[in-house]
Amino acid sequence: MLIMERNYKEVWANCLNVIKDNLGNSQSFKTWFEPIKPVKLENKVLTIQVPSQFFYEWLEEHYIGLIKKTIKKELGVEGRLEYSIVMDNSSFGNAPFTINLPTANKNAVQNPAVTMPIDINKNSSKDIPNPFIIPGLKKIKIHSQLNDNYSFDNFIEGDCNRLARSAGFAVAENPGKTAFNPLLLYSTVGLGKTHLSHAIGIQVKNIFPDKTVLYVGAEQFASQYIDSVRNNNQNDFIHFYQMIDVLIIDDIQFLSGKEKTQDIFFHIFNYLHQKGKQIVITSDKAPVEMTGMEPRLISRFKWGLSADLQIPNIETRIAILQKRLYNDGIDMPDEVIEYLAYSINTNIRELEGVLISLLAQSSLNKKIITLDLAKQMIDKFVKNTSRDISIDFIQKIVCDYFGIPVDRISSKTRKREVVQARQLAMYFSKKLTKSSLASIGLQCGNKDHATVLHACRTVNNLIETDKKYKSNVDELEKKIKI
């Protein structure tokens, strides 16, 4: 009978029967063996879960001989036992972590593997006051807290983020060895800096599986530090972070005003940087614009590369939607995709939110996805958000009205309908956006501000003298403001 075919619960039950025969129906058996839970049996290695580090140490000190004999009897001379010690990881949110010890042998406790899975039920922390380091354990393996969906494959590159993505990929291929250390990614909300930081960590894990990667939000970091102060184990907190090979700190701006936390992060930063470890930081502002941060931290943020992620252009937004639909195996009319991309133009997160809402409305109400359905949904969505009308969107509406491709506006052609469309696009851009004349001209065929002013005067003159033209302009304005 092959050991692999045996049920791990059955094996442990047999072990307990032997142990019970040796100990009798005593309080010791109830205290030290009944709480143990079998976890798995692989390659003659039985894994059991014990409630605490203290529990494990007691078993090793008082019952190691009996346990060894029982395992050998049940699994053979090659049989081994692994301990899974569950501890509360309150400083890491709701995610406790487990320590797997290779064998029931005191001499083997020097190189355990420590994981921090996010799906283990929360346990009491009374026996383990320190979630950062376990006495006597030299090496730990930490759950990286990375989201596998945020990979480089799912990150759409465009002019808006090319520098940041290229730098991130370079860092991932050679962490700690490039000039981009630290790598600071900054942008307003919803433009992909968190996605890119996860992608860096995932790529590092793929190329260098032995490296320890940790993604942590700045608020989470601050909360962990506060807990370490409360539990009087700040040194262990520092040692924990000093073991990281690639540290990714998201939304560093949340450390603003927290002097003590900034001080501890400063020391961790220095240690990791001096040891050639990679540091990746995200922020909603460039270093020169950060407030409430210590000057010495700001200066260190400037050591490496600061790369911004800007608002994606229309082509990138369309590509983002197409990629999301492709990954989900969903077909959607091109005109609907373009409409969504033109309607939501400042935030990738909102753009994907609109797409999800449209898919949900179509699925729940059993409606086919059409342009009309998209317009109805966008109308409700936009009313609940502060959507700014963009020059891209204005050009799209105007060109649809005239039945010409959008790129014709930027061409040098002097055809009447193209010239009219270009002038109206400039007129509405000046009237309905906060863009400068130079910016409007740049996006409308690389024209100067004087050309934009001339276009606006021409449209205003025609509105005053041509009732039909005025009617058409009013109709277009309504379409733009929908």
Tokens (6 digits) for 477? 């304005």
Distance CA 95, CA 86 (A): 11
CATH of 3-115, one of 3.40.50.300, 3.30.565.10, 3.40.50.2300, 3.30.300.180: 3.30.300.180
Contact residues for 116 (Cβ-Cβ < 8 A; gap 6+) = 89, 92, 95, 96, 97, 98, 142, 143, 145
Contact 182, 281 (CB under 8 A): yes
CATH of 391-481, one of 1.10.3720.10, 3.30.750.24, 1.10.1750.10, 1.20.1050.10: 1.10.1750.10
Q: 365-422 pLDDT, tens per residue? A: 777 888 878 877 776 665 444 456 778 888 888 888 888 888 888 888 888 888 888 9
pLDDT of residue 171: 92
pLDDT of residue 90: 36
Distance CA 259, CA 274 (A): 22
Q: What is the pLDDT along the chain (482 residues), one digit of tens a residue?
A: 344 446 888 888 888 888 888 876 667 787 788 888 888 888 888 888 887 766 777 787 778 888 888 888 888 888 888 888 754 333 333 333 333 333 334 333 333 333 332 222 333 333 333 444 433 334 445 778 898 888 888 888 888 888 899 999 999 998 988 888 899 999 888 888 899 999 999 999 999 988 889 999 988 899 888 888 888 878 888 888 888 899 999 999 888 888 888 988 998 998 898 888 999 999 988 888 888 888 888 888 888 888 888 888 878 888 888 888 887 778 888 888 888 887 777 778 878 778 888 888 777 777 788 887 887 777 666 544 445 677 888 888 888 888 888 888 888 888 888 888 899 999 988 888 878 888 888 888 888 888 888 989 899 898 888 888 888 888 888 878 76
**162-308 and 314-383: same fold?**
no
pTM of the model: 0.54
Distance CA 52, CA 126 (A): 9
Domain ranges across the chain? 3-115, 162-308, 314-383, 391-481
Q: 53-92 pLDDT, tens per residue? A: 667 777 877 788 888 888 888 888 888 888 887 543 333 3
Assigned architecture for domain 162-308: 3-Layer(aba) Sandwich (3.40)
pLDDT of residue 100: 39
Which class does domain 314-383 fall in? mainly alpha
- Residue 176 φ/ψ, nearest 5 degrees: 80, -5
